[in-house]
Amino acid sequence: MPVGVYIGVVSAIFTAVVTEVYCHRYLAHHAFRIRPVPARLMDLYFRVIVGTDPESWAAVHRVHHRHADTPLDPHSPVLRHPLTIVAGTPYLFAVAKRKLPANQPAAPGVWALRALLVTFYAVTCGPLQVPIMLSVHLVCYMGLGGLINTVGHLYGSKPHPAFPGYDLPLLAIPLLGHGYHNSHHAHPAAPRTGRLDPVWPLLRLGAMLGQIELDGHQPSRRRRPACCDASVSLG
């Protein structure tokens, strides 16, 4: 199999994890604090690789939380055909972004870094591997985002009936913790979405290394209803 396929898959997974940790849990929901250096590194990585700004990603996601599964939801699979969400999340994101206040456009340095990366891959892996790597990366990264937005709102159980979405713990690992999507809508600021949340060990590692502050961001055990075991920080 061409090496570009492996690089594309690995870079898509890494980019999805950066999106989940930095844009989703940190920027959109303030589930924890990140030290300035790793925060800047993830910010730059997201701008270079994804091609948009993290603040817009977080703003569009907050619109989703505020209006989930209503006509104002940017990407509801309840109101649109699920395949439209799986394949069209980037387009729907762009449409939603246009309705929000504009953030800073990409700096020239971002474009220079992009060009440097493509040149690096072309030199080290061969020019033919670049389009393969880019195609695999785009399909995997966008497909994963589309699956989270689709599966999380269509299939599973509803431990929090008053909130949108469903829990499907079997898919918690491939969906980066969004197998607990109903629990996430009920507790958006919880740093851990559920027991099988694969991002949680990374956050714990970041906390052990002193780069992430989880303390003070964990919901109180006493205030937590019994049904909410899935989406808390159990340590």
* Residues at the contact surface with Zn ion, assessed by CB under 5 A: 165
- Please report how close the Cβ of residue 62 comes to Zn ion at its closest, in angstroms: 8
- Please report how close the Cβ of residue 23 comes to Zn ion at its closest, in angstroms: 10
Q: Which residue has its beta carbon closest to Zn ion? A: 165
- Please report how close the Cβ of residue 40 comes to Zn ion at its closest, in angstroms: 22
Q: Which is nearer to Zn ion, 165 or 177 (CB)?
A: 165
First-to-final CA distance of the chain: 40
Q: Which is nearer to Zn ion, 76 or 218 (CB)?
A: 76
Q: Which is nearer to Zn ion, 77 or 206 (CB)?
A: 77
* Residue that has been written with the tokens 């061409």 in this structure: 2
Whether the CB-CB separation of 34 and 160 falls below 8 Å is answered with: no
Q: Write out the two tokens for 235.
A: 């340590």
Q: Which is nearer to Zn ion, 95 or 116 (CB)?
A: 95
DSSP per-residue codes, 19-76:
IIIIIIIIIIT--SEE-HHHHHHHHHHHHHHHSS-HHHHHHHHHHHHHTTTSTT-TT-
- Please report how close the Cβ of residue 185 comes to Zn ion at its closest, in angstroms: 6
